[in-house]
Structure formats: C-alpha cells, structure tokens
C-alpha cells in the first residue's frame, strides 16, 4: 500500500496504480491521509500528540480485544509504514503553511471486514482540479474481492 502511494505520488498528476493485497482477520482501521503522521505509543488507550516527522504514514490498526474497535494507543495493535508523501506537518512537527495547495491529499474508502481474512483490490489516481478545495488529490478506491 505504501509503495503504491509512493509510486503514484512520484508519477505526478495523471498517474494511476492498481494493487492487490491481503488484510488479516482483526484489522479494524486503515489510515492513509495527511492527518496521519506518527503514532501514540504510550499504551494508555488515548491517542495523544504523537511525534511527527513530516511524512504521511499508512497505519493498519487491529482489534485485539474483540470489541469491534481499533485498539488506538496500544503499540502492539498497529503496523506503521511511512511514505514519501508529505503530511500536514513539517519535519519539526509544526503545521505546514498552505499545505493543501502544495501537496496532495489522500482520499480513501477502505472497506474492512474485521472478522475475516480479505483480499483487496485498490486503485489509486493522482488528480488535479483547480475548482476543488483540495486541488491535488490521490483518490484511493478499495474493494474486497475475496473473503476467507
């Protein structure tokens, strides 16, 4: 997922990538947007202010206690992979100025089935539309194609 986002971003406006990937049983949330940079690892169950390094993260959160929700704040419940895409924050953790006009926003629609192992097909498009509030966008369309 992170590699495909990197390729679409590096390819520039008009680039497209389709991938297939498996998610194991228990995945309760997947995040890949400019708001996601860093993860709270203090294991208190409350997402605080994570350390930020200026790069968008792909985060896959698990439901380890079977309550149907991602176990936010539990370091053992998350897989984090950085991308080359910038986040809303710079490398010092300060909010970027005018980021929405300079960098792409990732808009996703991850489809999840936490009770089963699932094969997904995701297509990503890098678009530019001056009439949109977020002119640079990477659109991610996700679908489940097999359930085990």
Q: Which two tokens stand for residue 42?
A: 């203090």
Percent of residues, the chain, with pLDDT higher than 90: 45
Query: For residue 46, is pLDDT > 80?
Result: no
Number of structural domains found in the chain: 1
| Domain region containing 61 | 2-147
On average, the pLDDT of the chain sits at: 87
| pLDDT score, position 93 | 82
| pLDDT score, position 47 | 53
User: With DSSP H G I counted as helix, E B as strand and the rest as coil, what are the percentages for the chain, rounded to 5?
Assistant: 10, 40, 50
- Which is more confidently placed, 22 or 108? 22
Query: For residue 44, is pLDDT > 70?
Result: no
Q: What is the 3-state secondary structure (H, E, C) of 91-136?
A: CCCCECCCHHHHCCEEEECCCCCCCCCEEEEEEEEEEECCCCCCCE
Query: For residue 135, is pLDDT > 60?
Result: yes
| pLDDT score, position 45 | 52
Region 34-49: what's the mean pLDDT? 65
Distance CA 16, CA 88 (A): 23
Q: What is the value of pTM for the model shown? A: 0.84
């Amino acid at each position: 997922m992170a590699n495909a986002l990197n390729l679409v971003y590096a390819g520039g406006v008009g680039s497209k990538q389709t991938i297939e990937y498996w998610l194991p049983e228990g995945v309760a949330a997947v995040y890949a947007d400019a708001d996601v940079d860093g993860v709270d690892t203090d294991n208190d169950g409350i997402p605080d202010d994570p350390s930020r390094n200026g790069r968008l993260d792909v985060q896959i959160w698990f439901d380890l206690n079977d309550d149907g929700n991602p176990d936010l704040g539990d370091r053992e419940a998350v897989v984090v992979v950085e991308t080359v895409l910038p986040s809303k924050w710079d490398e010092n953790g300060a909010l970027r100025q005018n980021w929405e006009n300079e960098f792409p926003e990732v808009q996703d629609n991850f489809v999840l089935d936490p009770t089963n192992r699932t094969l997904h097909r995701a297509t990503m498009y890098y678009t530019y539309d001056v009439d949109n509030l977020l002119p640079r966008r990477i659109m991610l369309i996700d679908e489940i194609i097999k359930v085990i």
